[in-house]
Amino acid sequence: MARLALILAYDGSAFDGWQTQPSGRGVQDHLERALAAIAGHPVATICAGRTDAGVHALRQVVHFDSEAQRPASAWIRGVNAHLPAQVAVREVRQVDEGFHARYGATHRRYRYLLHLSPVRHPLLAGRAGWTFRHVDPSRLREAATLLAGEHDFSAFRSSECQAASPVRRIDAIDVAEQGPLLLLTFVGNAFLHHMIRNIVGTLLMAADGRRPVDWVGEVLASRDRRFAAPTFSPDGLYLDGARYDPRFDLPSWGADDGASNLLAALR
């Protein structure tokens, strides 16, 4: 029995989220069917981070076990031949049995692409969030610093969240500007259900002047979801990878060079 790790990319707007669904429209459903077609037996997968409907992945990490002996090309090109066009295996690595895509991740990175314009752009639909309000990036950065560190993030937690604890650590929230686009990059040990989308909505209320910057810290301290902004659109949210013990030799995200890195990741 071998354990393999896949690097997966997908357009989340085509699926009902990562997790398997009764409809069969989860990314996991499609991937497990494709893997089974190549392995010749049922396959169960575990991912680094469960994404919601409409949320994308640039570098989702998935592991599975198989008795089948196949070349790397079969696990990539063979599996991709059985997948919808909106999802693809990009890389594969054989790892030892101690590897776990979810519990072994020490850091995760998500990126939120935001379009700033009085009028929405149809070519960015499903690819970027949008606001017609004037956003001050300096206020956005100042508000973001209030969330760095280890905190109880209950104020940004979905009522459907199943995590045992609301305590998470955010190592950094970076903001890059490129024309009418803002790219918010979140790095942390883990994130709660809807946590990033709730944070984005709250940061924007401070950045566009509807609330003072200090209000973001007050929301965090309240530990009450009722005080934060409504959950923001999933369109611009991308899971951009996870980091593991170096002994597993898995690719992760590279140096952050601003908004262009998001497009570079699609190459």
In the chain, where the domains are located: 2-104, 107-239
Between the two ends of the chain, the Cα-to-Cα distance in Å is 33
Q: Is the pLDDT of residue 265 over 60?
A: no
More confident residue, 31 or 263: 31
The β-bridge relationship of strands 107-116 and 129-131 is parallel
Q: What's the pLDDT at 92?
A: 96
Q: Which residues are catalytic?
A: 52
The helix/strand/coil state of 148 is coil
Q: For residue 260, give the 3-state DSSP assignment.
A: helix
| In the predicted structure, residue 262 carries a pLDDT above the cut 90 | no
Do residues 10 and 88 touch, judged by C-beta distance below 8 A? yes
**What would be the CATH architecture of the domain defined by 2-104?**
2-Layer Sandwich (3.30)
- What's the rounded Cα separation, in Å, for the pair 266 and 88? 11
- Token pair 């002996």 is at which residue? 69
> What percentage of the chain carries pLDDT values higher than 90?
89
Quote the pLDDT of residue 12. 96
Angle between helices 195-207 and 137-145 (to 10 degrees): 130
77-89: pLDDT as tens digits: 999 999 999 999 9
What pTM does this model have? 0.93
Q: How far apart are CA 108 and CA 237, in angstroms?
A: 13
Please give the angle made by the CA atoms of 90, 93 and 95, to the nearest 5 degrees: 150
- Kindly tell me if the per-residue pLDDT of 259 is higher than 50: no
pLDDT value of position 251? 81
> What's residue 210's pLDDT?
97
- The per-residue DSSP string of 84-142 comes to -TTEEEEEEEEE-TT--TTTT-SEEEEEEEEEE-SS--GGGTTTSEEE-S---HHHHHH
Tens digits of per-residue pLDDT, 176-227?
998 999 999 999 999 999 999 999 999 999 999 999 999 999 999 999 999 9
* Residue 73: Cβ within 10 Å count: 10
Tens digits of per-residue pLDDT, 79-121?
999 999 999 999 999 999 999 999 999 999 999 999 999 999 9
pLDDT score at 23: 87
CB atoms within 10 A of CB 69: 8
Same fold flag, 2-104 and 107-239: yes
* pLDDT for residue 229: 97
At 215-256, the pLDDT tens digits run 999 999 999 999 999 999 999 999 999 999 999 988 877 655
- Overall fold of domain 107-239: Alpha-Beta Plaits (3.30.70)
pLDDT of residue 267: 44
